[in-house]
A and B are shown apart, each in its own frame.
Chain A
Amino acid sequence: MGLNYWDDIRKTTLTAQARIQAIEAKAIATTLLATQQNIRELLAADEDSELQKHALSAPSIKQPIRLDGLFGDWPLQANAPPRFNLNHPVWLAVPDSPSETAFSLRLAQSSQHLYVAIDVRDSNVVLRKPSHLRLDYNDHIQLTYHDESGALRRVILPAEQEGALASYYTDRHWQFGRDVNSASPKHKNNQNIASHKTGIQGYWHKTTEGYALEFRIPITQLDTVQSQIHFAIVDVDDNPAYGPQAIVASLPKNLEDKLNPVALHARELQRVIDQLKSTYARLWIYDSRGREWAFAERDPQAEIAPITFDSQCVRDALDGKIKPLHHMNDTDGKLNRLLVCYPIIEHGETLGVVVIDESAHHVLEQEEARVRVIAIKVGSAISLLLLVLLTYAFTLVRRISRLSEESSKSIDLHGRIERSTINASRNFPDEIGDLSRNITTLLEKQHSYMNFLERIPQTLRHEISNPLNKLRTSLENLLDHQPHLANDNYIRKIDSGIDQISRITLHLTEAASLESAIKEEQLIKTDLITFLDGYLSVWDEQINYTPWDKKPAFILGDSSRLEQLFDKLLDNAISFCSKTGKVLVHVERHTDRIAVIIENDGPTLPSESTAGLFSPMVSTRSSGSSIHLGLGLHIAKLISDQHKALLVGKNREDRSGVIFSVEFNLLREN
Chain B
Amino acid sequence: MTYRIAIVEDDIDQQQNYSDALQRRGFETQCFSRVEEALTGITNDRPDLVLLDVVLGDDPDGGFTICRKLLDRGDNIPIIFLSDRSDEIDQVFGLRLGAWDYQTKPISLALLAERIKGLLRIHHARSADNETAPHYENAGLSLDEEKSFASWHEKTLPLTLTEFRLLTAIVKSGPVGTDYNSLCESTMQRMVTNGTINSHIKNIRKKFNALDHTFQCIRNKPGFGYRWEKQ
Residue numbers of A with Cβ under 8 A of B are 458, 461-462, 465-466, 468-474, 476-477, 480, 498-499, 502-503, 506, 509-510, 513, 517, 521, 531-532, 534-539, 559-560, 562-564, 566-567
Contacts and interface: CB of A to CB of B under 8 A. Distances in A.
A474 B17 contact: yes
A480 B24 CA distance: 9
Given A476-B21, A560-B201, A535 B223 contact: yes
* Most A C-beta atoms less than 10 A away, residue of B86, B110, B191: B86
A513 B221 contact: no
A470 B14 contact: yes
Contact of B86 (A461, A476, A535, A564): A461
Given A461-B86, A503-B191, A535-B223, 14 more contacts: A468-B105, A470-B13, A470-B17, A476-B21, A476-B109, A499-B191, A509-B86, A532-B222, A534-B223, A536-B223, A537-B224, A538-B223, A559-B222, A560-B202
Given A466-B84, A531-B222, A564-B198, A476 B13 contact: no
A472 B190 CA distance: 11
A562 B222 contact: yes
B108 A476 contact: yes
B198 A560 contact: yes
A474 B104 CA distance: 17
A473 B18 contact: yes
Contacts of B13: 470, 474
20 contacts: A466-B84, A468-B105, A469-B105, A470-B11, A470-B13, A470-B17, A473-B106, A474-B13, A476-B108, A477-B109, A502-B190, A506-B193, A513-B87, A513-B88, A532-B222, A538-B224, A560-B198, A563-B220, A563-B222, A566-B223
A539 B20 contact: no
Given A538-B223, A563-B194, A476 B11 contact: no
A559 B222 CA distance: 7
Contacts of B176: none
B219 to A, nearest CB: 9
Nearest to A564: B195
Given A465-B84, A466-B11, A563-B223, A477 B21 contact: yes
A664 to B, nearest CB: 15
B4 interface: no
A532 B224 CA distance: 11
A458 B201 CA distance: 23
A586 to B, nearest CB: 17
Binding site secondary structure of chain B:
mixed
Interface string B191-219: 10111001101100000000000000000
Given A498-B106, A560-B198, A534 B224 contact: yes
B165 interface: no
Contacts of A465: 84, 86, 104-106
Given A465-B104, A473-B17, A560-B202, A567 B194 contact: yes
B172 interface: no
A-B residue pairs, 10 tightest by C-beta: A535-B222, A535-B223, A465-B84, A473-B17, A469-B105, A560-B198, A469-B106, A534-B222, A465-B105, A538-B223
A472 B106 contact: yes
B14 A473 contact: yes
Interface string B165-194: 000000000000001000000000011011
B34 interface: no
Nearest to A464: B84
Interface in B79-97: 84-88
Nearest to B53: A466
B107 interface: yes
A471 B108 CA distance: 11
Contacts of A503: 191
B222 A469 contact: no
Contacts of A461: 84, 86
Contacts of B223: 534-539, 563, 566
A562 B87 CA distance: 23
A566 B110 CA distance: 34
A458 B84 CA distance: 10
Nearest to A560: B198
A466 B194 contact: no
A535 B224 CA distance: 7
Contacts of B105: 465-466, 468-469
Contact of A506 (B87, B108, B191): B191
Contacts of A531: 222
Interface in B59-93: 84-88
Contacts of B191: 499, 502-503, 506
A536 B222 CA distance: 8
Contacts of B179: 538
A477 B14 CA distance: 11
Contacts of B109: 472-473, 476-477
A242 B148 CA distance: 155
A231 B190 CA distance: 146
Contacts of A562: 222
A60 B17 CA distance: 135
A468 B224 contact: no
Contacts of B224: 534-535, 537-538
A462 B84 contact: yes
Contacts of A477: 17, 20-21, 109
Contacts of A534: 221-224
Nearest to B24: A480
A538 B224 CA distance: 7
A563 B195 CA distance: 9
Find the residue from A466, A503, A534, A536 having the highest chain B CB count within 10 A: A466
A535 B223 CA distance: 4
Contacts of A473: 14, 17-18, 21, 106-107, 109
Interface in B1-41: 11, 13-14, 17-18, 20-21, 24
A440 B161 CA distance: 46
Contacts of A517: 199
A528 B20 CA distance: 52
Contacts of B195: 510, 564
Contacts of B220: 559-560, 563
Contacts of A564: 194-195, 198
Nearest to B224: A538
Contacts of A563: 194, 198, 220, 222-223
A468 B17 contact: no
A161 to B, nearest CB: 116
B36 to A, nearest CB: 22
B216 to A, nearest CB: 10
Nearest to A458: B87
Find the residue from A466, A473, A510, A566 having the highest chain B CB count within 10 A. A473
A539 B224 CA distance: 10
B106 A502 contact: yes
Interface string B108-119: 111000000000
